[in-house]
Chain A
Amino acid sequence: MSPRSLSRISLLVFVALALAAVLAFAACKDDKKEGTTPPADQTPAGIDISGVPELQDGVLNVGSDIAYAPFEFYIEGTETEDGLDIDIAKAIAAELGVDIEFINTGFDGLIPALQSAEFDILVSAMTIRPDREDQIDFVPYITVGTGIVVPAGNPDNITGLDESLCGLTLAVQVATIQVTFLEDLNEGACADNNVDIVTFDTNPLAVEDLRTGGSDANFSDFPVAAEDAAQSDGELEVVEPQIDPEPYGIGVDKGSTELKGVIADALQAIRDSGEYDQILAKWELEGVALQ
Chain B
Amino acid sequence: MDWLLAIRFDLDTVGDFLFDPIILRAMRQTLQIAALAMVLGVVLGVVLAVMRVSRNPIVSGLAGVYVWFWRATPVVLQLLIMYFGLRQLIEDDLFRDNWTRWRAAVITFGLNEAAYMAEIVRGGILSVESGQMDAAKSLGMTNLQAMRRVILPQALRVVVPPTGNELIAMLKNTSVAFAIGVVELMNAAKIQAAQSFKVMEMYTVAAFWYLVLVSIFSLLQAELERALTISERERPETLFSRALTLMGGRRGI
Contacts and interface: CB of A to CB of B under 8 A. Distances in A.
Interface of A: 108, 111-112, 131-132, 134-135, 171, 174-175, 179-180, 198-201, 205-206, 208-209, 211-214
Interface string B83-101: 1100110000000100011
A108 B194 contact: yes
Contacts of A171: 181
Contact of B197 (A134, A212, A213): A134
Most buried by A among B87, B181, B190, B195: B181
B178 interface: yes
B128 to A, nearest CB: 27
A108 B87 contact: no
B197 A214 contact: no
Interface string B164-202: 000000000000001111010001001101110101000
8 contacts: A108-B193, A175-B191, A175-B194, A175-B195, A199-B181, A200-B181, A206-B181, A214-B181
Given A209-B84, A212-B84, A174 B194 contact: yes
B194 A212 contact: no
Contacts of A205: 84, 179-181
B183 A199 contact: yes
B195 A180 contact: yes
A200 B182 CA distance: 9
Nearest to B183: A199
- Overall SS of chain B's interface: helix
A108 B196 CA distance: 11
Interface string B199-231: 100000000000000000000000000000000
Interface residues of B, number: 20
B87 A214 contact: yes
B199 A211 contact: no
A214 B82 CA distance: 13
A200 B195 CA distance: 14
B247 to A, nearest CB: 48
Contact of A108 (B83, B183, B190): B190
B181 A209 contact: yes
Contacts of A135: 197
A249 to B, nearest CB: 16
Nearest 10 pairs of A and B residues by beta carbon = A175-B194, A212-B87, A108-B194, A198-B181, A213-B96, A112-B199, A208-B84, A135-B197, A212-B88, A212-B84
A225 to B, nearest CB: 18
Contacts of B181: 171, 198-200, 205-206, 209, 214
Most buried by B among A134, A179, A205: A205
A200 B190 CA distance: 11
A108 B101 CA distance: 22
Nearest to A208: B84
Contact of A174 (B180, B190, B197, B199): B190
Given A179-B191, A179-B195, 9 more contacts: A171-B181, A174-B194, A180-B195, A205-B179, A205-B180, A212-B87, A212-B88, A214-B87, A214-B100
A214 to B, nearest CB: 6
Interface string B61-105: 000000000000000000000011001100000001000110000
Nearest to B90: A212
Contact of B87 (A198, A206, A213): A213
A211 B86 CA distance: 12
Contacts of A175: 191, 194-195
Contacts of B183: 199
Contacts of B88: 211-212
A131 B195 CA distance: 9
Contacts of B199: 112
B178 A201 contact: yes
Contacts of B193: 108
A47 B180 CA distance: 47
B191 A174 contact: yes
A131 B96 contact: no
Nearest to A206: B181
B92 to A, nearest CB: 10
A214 B85 CA distance: 12
A135 B193 CA distance: 13
B16 to A, nearest CB: 17
B97 to A, nearest CB: 9
Contact of A111 (B83, B87, B190, B197): B197
